[in-house]
Structure 1
């Protein structure tokens, strides 16, 4: 298990560093590509490789890190009970969207995110729905104390809040990913919300809520009680992905979508993380209290 933790941390750090280098590359290197290309064949090769593989490496590292975390903390069955619905439902939704325009709007993927399934959807898209979606859902579920005080209302609330956190990430993501100097997708008919159709966000919320609902049903007999320290990885993944998206959008001059995503996603996520009980700390406090009270009881006798 210790080796798994090491691999998980290496992949998580690599994921974050890939985000940083990717952000710097898109905002600084690509607009000044002539400087790199002037280095000759080496510079040209490095430029082509980074544009073709940078996003793929980043997403794969994030997927591996969250998968190992989920396997360690949730167990094999519960990990798969989220991963499989999230991947298959999201890829189905994306294939439907790129073919018909429903549920997101009329859009197409460009290069930069790897091999395209059916020539339409990069394989990295559904796995990114998985690892960011799981992070959002776990934060919502633990913060709302679904395992400690189970009820249908809390389950529905966790799904709604998890889907909202996931969608708020897209508020920051959409303008940057579709309108930077090196876009990853484009809209056939740019929408009213800073180039993105409002329909897109309804599609994100609906798709993520659907696979979170399937997972909630599959987890109905599972005892998944997470303490605050166990939510560190999901919170780091969520915030690092938001920061990358925010950097792209701010670099392109889109501040309002970033602010909406920050106050609708990051602030609630941190609040829910903080609201989650830290069992180990509470146990230590209770034990210390008992040790202090014991002598008093003896003295009273």
Structure 2
């Protein structure tokens, strides 16, 4: 298990480092070609490689880190019963979207995110749906305390909140990935919301609600319980990915979508983290409270003294 922790940390650090370098490259280097020319032959080769494969490496590292975390903290069953529906349903939704325009709109993926399944959807896309969807759901479940208070309202609320956190990521991500100097996909018919159709966000919310709901249904007999101290990893993944997208969008002047994402995504995520059960709060046990324990009659014994 110690080796798994080491690999998990390595992949998480690598995931964040690739985002930092990617952000610096896209924001500082790409707009200034003279900087690229001054890098030298080796530097230019490294920069070209990073532009071509950096996105793939970033998403693969994030996937591995979250998968190991899920296996360690939740177990094999919980990990696979979230990952498989997330990957399969999001891939199906993306293939449908790139083929028919439903449920996101008419769009196509460009190069930069790896091999395209069916020539339409990069294999990394459903992986990103998995790891961002899982961390969003873990944060929502911990904040609403779905294990301590397993009611239908709390379960439905956790699914809706997780889908909201996940969709909020796209408020910052969409302009960065489709409207900046180095786009990763493009819209056939740009929408009214800073180039993005409003229906795209409904598609994100609906698709994420679907696969999160499937996982919640499969987890109903073995609900999860994460304390606040165990949410550092999911929160780090969520905030770092949002920060990367926000940095790209803000550099291009898209502060309104980013602000909306902060309001309906970042702030709720931090609030749910604060609401989660602290580590020093013990769960109720099966022991009978002292006030409910039956009293045992004690017979008084008188001792005669001569």
Same fold (TM over 0.5): yes
CA contact (8 A) 1:114 1:122 kept: yes
**Equivalent in the alignment of 2:18:** 18
SS of the aligned residue for 2:32 comes to helix
Which has more radius of gyration? 2
**Equivalent in the alignment of 1:263:** 263
**Equivalent in the alignment of 2:281:** 282
The separation in 2 between residues aligned to 1:268 and 1:40, in whole angstroms, is 45
Q: How does 1:26-175 map to 2 (within 5 A)?
A: 26-37=26-37, 39=39, 41-175=41-175
SS of the aligned residue for 2:186 comes to strand
The separation in 1 between residues aligned to 2:120 and 2:267, in whole angstroms, is 34
CA contact (8 A) 2:177 2:183 kept: yes
CA contact (8 A) 2:20 2:244 kept: yes
Report the alpha carbon displacement of residue 42 of structure 1 after superposing the two structures with TM: 2.5
**Equivalent in the alignment of 2:234:** 234
CA contact (8 A) 2:146 2:223 kept: no
**Equivalent in the alignment of 2:187:** 187
* Partner deviation per Cα, 1:18-45 (whole Å, 9 max, x = no partner): 1100001111111123432355543442
Report the alpha carbon displacement of residue 181 of structure 1 after superposing the two structures with TM: 1.2
Q: Which of 25-34 and 52-61 deviates more?
A: 25-34
The separation in 2 between residues aligned to 1:43 and 1:223, in whole angstroms, is 50
**Equivalent in the alignment of 2:8:** 8
Number of residue pairs matched? 282
What is the Cα-based RMSD across aligned positions, in Å? 1.1
Unaligned runs of 5+ in 2: 283-306
Report the alpha carbon displacement of residue 69 of structure 1 after superposing the two structures with TM: 0.3
SS of the aligned residue for 1:282 comes to coil
**Equivalent in the alignment of 1:293:** none
* Partner deviation per Cα, 1:247-276 (whole Å, 9 max, x = no partner): 011011000000000010000001101110
SS of the aligned residue for 1:186 comes to strand
The separation in 1 between residues aligned to 2:234 and 2:116, in whole angstroms, is 27
CA contact (8 A) 1:26 1:180 kept: no
* Partner deviation per Cα, 1:170-204 (whole Å, 9 max, x = no partner): 00100111111111111111100011000000000
More helix by share: 1
Q: Which of 69-78 and 42-51 deviates more?
A: 42-51
After superposing on structure 2, the runs of 4+ consecutive aligned residues of structure 1 that deviate more than 3 Å are: 37-41
Q: Which of 42-51 and 138-147 deviates more?
A: 42-51
* Partner deviation per Cα, 1:46-70 (whole Å, 9 max, x = no partner): 2321111010111111111100000
CA contact (8 A) 2:132 2:237 kept: yes
**Equivalent in the alignment of 1:219:** 219
TM-score by length of 2: 0.90
TM-score by length of 1: 0.91
